[in-house]
């Protein structure tokens, strides 16, 4: 025994002080563990609250109030179509005062409304799009001229919100967007079974509109699709080529290091800065068409490029070296080895990374605001160079609208966007599980 060993009394584990100390430590342990669990549950409950709120609100956006009116197609209001060819006839039909037909029908139902101002607010029960509905009916079947028909029309945005209970009756009239008079009219129509709430197919087939009840997301979906096509065509080949070069051919030198540092930094640059790049270079310097899917796609392509390169490199790195050795050993050139063996084997990983990058690009808003994709656009875009909008920007635009009906529309558009994202990410997960190779 060495001299400097101090002599301690042995620890008495059974003593009360020791037992207390141990149980205190275990209490601390349990508390810490619960804290961790609590953190996870809190984060997950945020997710649940977010999805639940949006889901609940979106239901109103997918459904739409309709009002049935009895329309008498008064022959005196229509031009004489005899002797006109079909072009002239359809042109003549566009000039008909369809609003008068609707007004007349409503006045027939509420004979005591005669004041000009009252008639106007009566007519605004139905959407401004009702005229197009009527025009379409007549165009399809000119035989209805002179006849009387019951037709369902979209209710205007405020009436729609009222029927769905989003605008309360208990609010004093001065604070309510739907006035007492209109409430009486709607109740009367409802009592007659002339009001119903149905699925809003128009939401999926029309472009944007100032009228909430007419606004749809088809234009934004097409715009998003065109933009993503450009993004994919730009970033996939370049990203793949860069990943192949850096992983398989690049020599270890300063230049390669520079490229790698650049890629890592680009991956963390805020997306809005890419918007500034698009604005200054693509629009300002190269004079490319503003607000177009082409410019939007290029901007997003530059933004997703680093993600794609990093994912591609990881996938290429994961291919066993023995595959390369075997190909080289059989006389393939390095280029043949890469293109015939390494890339096909790495493809599932590369595609997974690409889909995830595209999903990010689909949800991106800020850079597109910079290049002018915020314009109010009614028409569904048909080419890469005309002004378009995309789903997230459409959500942003609607979210800024004061009308109550647009809140539901916004939530519904968000649900559609999230569905697309879930679909894409699901595809990526499936690809990874299906083709992942264990070496």
Partner 1 sequence: MSVSASIFILILLAGAGFFFGRQRSLALVSGKLATLHSLPNQYGWYVGILMLLPGILVILLWIVFSGNIIDTMVIASLPDHAGPATEQARALLLNDIHNTAAGAPHSGSSEIYIQEAAQRYSRLKSQGVNIVSALVALFAVIGGLAGFRTIRPDLRARTHVERVILILLILSSVVAIFATLGIVLSLIVESARFFARVPLAEFFFGLQWSPQTALREDQVGSSGSFGAIPLFAGTLLISFIAMCVAVPLGLMSAIYMTQYSRKNVRKVVKPLLEILAGIPTVVYGFFAALTVAPFIRESGGLLGLDVASESALAAGLVMGIMIIPLMSSLSDDALTAVPEAMRDGSLALGATRSETIKQVLIPAALPGIVGAFLLSVSRAVGETMIVVMAAGLAANLTANPLEAVTTITAQIVALLTGDQEFDSAKTLSAFALGLALFGATLLLNMLALSIVRKYRESYE
Q: Is 288 in the site for partner 1 (CB under 8 A)?
A: yes
Q: Which of 147, 188, 233, 269 binds partner 1 (CB under 8 A)?
A: 269
Q: Which is nearer to partner 1, 62 or 245 (CB)?
A: 245
Q: Is 19 in the site for partner 1 (CB under 8 A)?
A: no
CA–CA dist 126, 106 (Å, integer): 10
Q: What order do you get walking across the sheet with 63-72 strand by strand? A: 148-154, 63-72, 195-199
Q: Which of residues 74-113 bind partner 1 (CB under 8 A)?
A: none
Tokens standing for residue 105? 């029908």
CA–CA dist 236, 245 (Å, integer): 14
Q: Is 259 in the site for partner 1 (CB under 8 A)?
A: yes
Give the x-and-dash track for 320-359 against partner 1 (CB under 8 A).
-------------x-x-----------------------x
**How far does CA 379 lie from the centroid of its chain?**
18
Stretch in the footprint of partner 1 (CB under 8 A) among 112-120, 156-164, 319-327, 391-399: 391-399
Q: Which is nearer to partner 1, 135 or 369 (CB)?
A: 369
Closest distance of CB 164 from partner 1, Å: 17
Stretch in the footprint of partner 1 (CB under 8 A) among 5-13, 66-74, 234-242, 319-327: 234-242
Closest distance of CB 33 from partner 1, Å: 6
Q: Which of 158, 208, 213, 364 binds partner 1 (CB under 8 A)?
A: 364
Closest distance of CB 349 from partner 1, Å: 18
Q: Which is nearer to partner 1, 73 or 294 (CB)?
A: 294
φ/ψ of 70, rounded to 5, equals -95, 110
CB 341 within 8 A of CB 327: yes
Q: Which is nearer to partner 1, 109 or 432 (CB)?
A: 432
Q: Which of 221, 350, 370, 416 binds partner 1 (CB under 8 A)?
A: 370
Q: Which of 10, 286, 331, 439 binds partner 1 (CB under 8 A)?
A: 286
φ/ψ of 324, rounded to 5, equals -65, -45
Closest distance of CB 362 from partner 1, Å: 8
Q: Is 274 in the site for partner 1 (CB under 8 A)?
A: yes
Considering CB under 8 A, how many residues would be counted as binding partner 1? 86
Within 13 Å of residue 27, how many CA atoms lie on the same side as its CB?
Answer: 6
Q: Which is nearer to partner 1, 35 or 330 (CB)?
A: 35
User: Residue 67 pairs with which residues in a beta bridge?
Assistant: 153, 195
CA–CA distance from 172 to each of 26, 120, 157, 177, 296 (Å)?
60, 22, 20, 10, 46
Stretch in the footprint of partner 1 (CB under 8 A) among 101-109, 172-180, 188-196, 268-276: 268-276
DSSP state, residue 108: H
CA–CA distance from 300 to each of 3, 13, 53, 239 (Å)?
75, 66, 29, 13
Q: Is 439 in the site for partner 1 (CB under 8 A)?
A: no
- Cα-based angle 285, 291, 292 (whole degrees, multiple of 5): 90
CA–CA dist 37, 212 (Å, integer): 43
CA–CA dist 214, 207 (Å, integer): 8
Q: Which is nearer to partner 1, 98 or 398 (CB)?
A: 398
Q: Which is nearer to partner 1, 185 or 236 (CB)?
A: 236
The pairing of strands 195-199 and 148-154 is unpaired
Q: Which of 73, 185, 396, 406 binds partner 1 (CB under 8 A)?
A: 396
* Contacts for 28 with CB less than 8 Å, ≥ 6 apart: none
Q: Is 17 in the site for partner 1 (CB under 8 A)?
A: no
Q: Which of 280, 318, 326, 419 binds partner 1 (CB under 8 A)?
A: 280
Q: Is 55 in the site for partner 1 (CB under 8 A)?
A: no
CA–CA dist 230, 228 (Å, integer): 5
Tokens standing for residue 31? 């508390």
Q: Which of residues 416-435 bind partner 1 (CB under 8 A)?
A: 417-418, 421, 425
CB 230 within 8 A of CB 293: yes
Give the x-and-dash track for 23-52 against partner 1 (CB under 8 A).
--xx-xx--xx-xxxxxx-xxx-xx-xx--
Stretch in the footprint of partner 1 (CB under 8 A) among 148-156, 173-181, 213-221, 236-244: 236-244
DSSP state, residue 383: S
Tokens standing for residue 307? 């993600």
CA–CA dist 370, 278 (Å, integer): 8
Q: Which of residues 183-212 bind partner 1 (CB under 8 A)?
A: none
Q: Which of residues 110-149 bind partner 1 (CB under 8 A)?
A: none
Q: Which is nearer to partner 1, 212 or 263 (CB)?
A: 263
């Amino acid at each position: 025994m060495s001299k400097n060993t101090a002599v301690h009394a042995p620890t008495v584990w059974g003593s009360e002080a020791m037992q207390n100390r141990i149980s205190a430590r275990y209490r601390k342990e349990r508390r810490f563990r619960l804290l961790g669990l609590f953190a996870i549950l809190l984060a997950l409950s945020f997710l649940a609250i977010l999805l639940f709120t949006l889901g609940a609100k979106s239901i109103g956006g997918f459904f739409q109030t309709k009002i049935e009116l009895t329309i008498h197609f008064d022959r005196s209001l229509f031009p004489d179509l005899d002797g006109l060819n079909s072009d002239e006839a359809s042109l003549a039909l566009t000039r008909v005062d369809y609003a008068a037909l609707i007004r007349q029908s409503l006045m027939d139902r509420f004979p005591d409304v005669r004041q000009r101002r009252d008639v106007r607010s009566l007519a605004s029960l139905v959407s401004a799009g009702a005229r197009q509905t009527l025009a379409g009916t007549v165009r399809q079947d000119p035989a209805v001229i002179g006849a009387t028909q019951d037709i369902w029309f979209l209710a205007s945005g405020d009436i729609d919100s009222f029927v769905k209970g989003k605008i309360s009756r208990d609010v004093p009239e001065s604070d309510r967007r739907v006035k007492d008079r209109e409430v009486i009219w709607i109740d009367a129509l409802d009592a007659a079974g002339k009001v119903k709430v149905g699925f809003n197919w128009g939401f999926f087939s029309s472009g944007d509109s100032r009228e909430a009840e007419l606004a749809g997301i088809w234009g934004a979906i097409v715009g998003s699709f065109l933009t993503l096509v450009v993004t994919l065509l730009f970033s996939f080949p370049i990203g793949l080529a860069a990943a192949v070069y850096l992983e398989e051919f690049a020599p270890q030198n300063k230049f390669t290091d520079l490229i790698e540092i650049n890629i890592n930094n680009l991956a963390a640059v805020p997306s809005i800065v890419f918007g500034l790049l698009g604005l200054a270079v693509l629009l300002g310097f190269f004079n490319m068409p503003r607000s177009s899917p082409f410019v939007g796609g290029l901007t997003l392509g530059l933004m997703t490029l680093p993600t794609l390169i990093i994912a591609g490199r990881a996938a290429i790195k994961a291919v066993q070296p023995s595959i390369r050795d075997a190909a080289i050993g059989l006389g393939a050139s390095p280029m043949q080895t890469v293109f015939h063996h390494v890339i096909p084997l790495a493809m599932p990983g590369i595609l997974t990374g690409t889909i995830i990058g595209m999903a990010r690009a689909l949800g991106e808003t800020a850079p597109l605001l910079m290049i002018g994709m915020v314009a109010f656009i009614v028409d569904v875009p048909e080419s890469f160079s005309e002004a378009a909008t995309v789903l997230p920007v459409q959500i942003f635009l609607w979210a800024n609208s004061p009308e109550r009906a647009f809140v539901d529309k916004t939530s519904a558009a968000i649900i559609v966007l999230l569905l697309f994202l879930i679909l894409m990410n699901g595809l990526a997960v499936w690809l990874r599980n299906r083709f992942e190779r264990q070496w």
